Amino acid sequence: MRSILITGGAGFIGANFVHYWMNQYKNDKVIVLDALTYAGNLASLEPVKENPNFTFVHGDILNTELVEELLRHHKVDTLVHFAAESHVDRSITGPDAFLETNIMGTHSLLKAAKKVWLDEDLLQGAEHRFHHVSTDEVYGTLSLEDPAFTEETAYAPNSPYAASKAASDHLVRAYNETYGLKTTISNCSNNYGPYHFPEKLIPLVITNILHDKALPIYGDGQQIRDWLYVEDHARGIELVLNKGKVGENYNIGGHNEWHNIDIVKLICLLMDECFANDSTLASCFDTAKAAIAGNSESLITYVKDRPGHDRRYAIDAAKTRTELGYEPAESFETGIRRTIQWYLNNEAWWQAVMDGSYQDWINKQYS
Ligand code: NAD
Ligand code: DAU
């Protein structure tokens, strides 16, 4: 039985991980620490909020004393660190928050873990684990001919977001080498699935089609991303926690490379198909005029490219597969349909996230 502190558990991947974990390990205690930034959403934790093994703490990972207190109070033995500023576009217009949360925030957690687990020996010699959730963006960009990123690929981050994640990975490594903190790191490719904030490509395209708004394609749309269903990321982290070697990095990915323009066209096609097959959708989403007319693709609009835009990401997950037995369970064919269906079924979630009314509610709860 574990006592797990999950940072950023109200965000996209964190919330999916919480659901997955509480379903798999029914006796574990799960404590979520989340600052509820614009990307954090308590509604994403609705399915577990009544579970007696679940605790939500509204707080900042930069608050080292709070983290120490949580580790002691809940006798935490496992920390899984998702909390971050995660959107590349925002890191270009406002990098400071990324350095603050992703670098200083990770360091704050490392300091707290070292103090409570190593200096105070809270667990009296029992195992602890600090797992850091990172990204393939730390490896930089690939050309079409390059082999996929392995754990040996040199770090070459290109955006302030990627640079801040690379710095946090180095700090985690340093705390293992210098102090013997038992750490692991996973570097994952692009995730998609439920509870994904609609500023990221896939949920943006789905919700823009429903609002009959333009689908912005950066540059020529020929950039490539390697998409993984979010629950498969959770399963990968589970394997690293259960079988991974302390001090190691593990790549997690889906062997599922898509050009941006192709993925957008596929979503258009599937959305048109949903509207054609279910006449009730047109009345539920009467603003989705292009989809109702079977022509979502007409919304595609090429716009100015993202500065420093990485051309291609691709993950070689051979180490995670051979050492830990990792294989993604969800095919892209089924995962993308499940995701679209989730957005069609959960309008209240994404409307509230987008119009800010959810944020107003949070402010009232915590003011
Ligand atoms: P997200 O932006 O959806 O969620 C981030 C969460 O962290 C939010 O709930 C937010 O409130 C919380 N948070 C932010 N600053 C905080 C702070 N100072 N203290 C406490 N909580 C704070 O992000 P995501 O897409 O779920 O990504 C989660 C992690 O996975 C990140 O570390 C990201 O770098 C990594 N990652 C993401 C992807 C992806 O495709 N989204 C892929 C690989 C790795
Ligand atoms: O690779 C893992 C990373 O994937 C994570 O570390 C990041 O946290 C996560 O946000 C994601 O980063 P990307 O920049 O790849 O994701 P995003 O959804 O922002 O963009 C995906 C691709 O689509 C990228 O090439 C930019 C492009 N794009 C994006 C948006 C939002 C567009 O063409 N138009 C858009 O409107």
Judged by DSSP in three states, 55 sits in strand
* pLDDT beyond 50 at 277: yes
Over range 5-16, report the average pLDDT. 98
pLDDT at position 358 is 58
Cα 84 to averaged position of ligand 1 atoms, centre (Å): 4
pLDDT tens for each residue of 59-92: 999 999 999 999 999 999 999 999 999 999 999 9
Q: Is 161 one of the annotated active-site residues of the chain? A: yes
pLDDT tens for each residue of 194-232: 999 999 999 999 999 999 999 999 999 999 999 999 999
pLDDT bin (cut points 50, 70, 90) of residue 355 is confident
Q: Is 232 one of the annotated active-site residues of the chain? A: no
pLDDT at position 344 is 98
Instruction: Pick from 92, 137, 190 the residue to mutate for probing ligand 2's pocket: most ligand atoms within 8 Å of its CB.
Output: 190
78 lines ligand 1 (CB under 6 A): no
Q: Whose CA is nearest to atom 36 of ligand 2?
A: 216
Q: What angle do CA 55, 188, 74 make, to 5 degrees?
A: 20
- Domains of the chain are 3-196+228-254+309-331 (3.40.50.720)
pLDDT bin (cut points 50, 70, 90) of residue 367 is very low
Six-digit token string for 272 = 């048109």
Over range 309-336, report the average pLDDT. 97
pLDDT at position 175 is 98
Query: Which ligand has the minimum distance to the alpha carbon of residue 57?
Result: 1
* pLDDT beyond 80 at 146: yes
* pLDDT beyond 70 at 10: yes
Instruction: Pick from 218, 223, 229 the residue to mutate for probing ligand 2's pocket: most ligand atoms within 8 Å of its CB.
Output: 218
Long-range contacts at 141-146 (CB < 8 A, ≥ 24 apart): 141/310, 141/311, 141/312, 141/313, 142/311, 142/312, 142/313, 142/314, 143/311, 143/312, 144/224, 144/312, 146/312, 146/314
Cα 278 to averaged position of ligand 2 atoms, centre (Å): 30
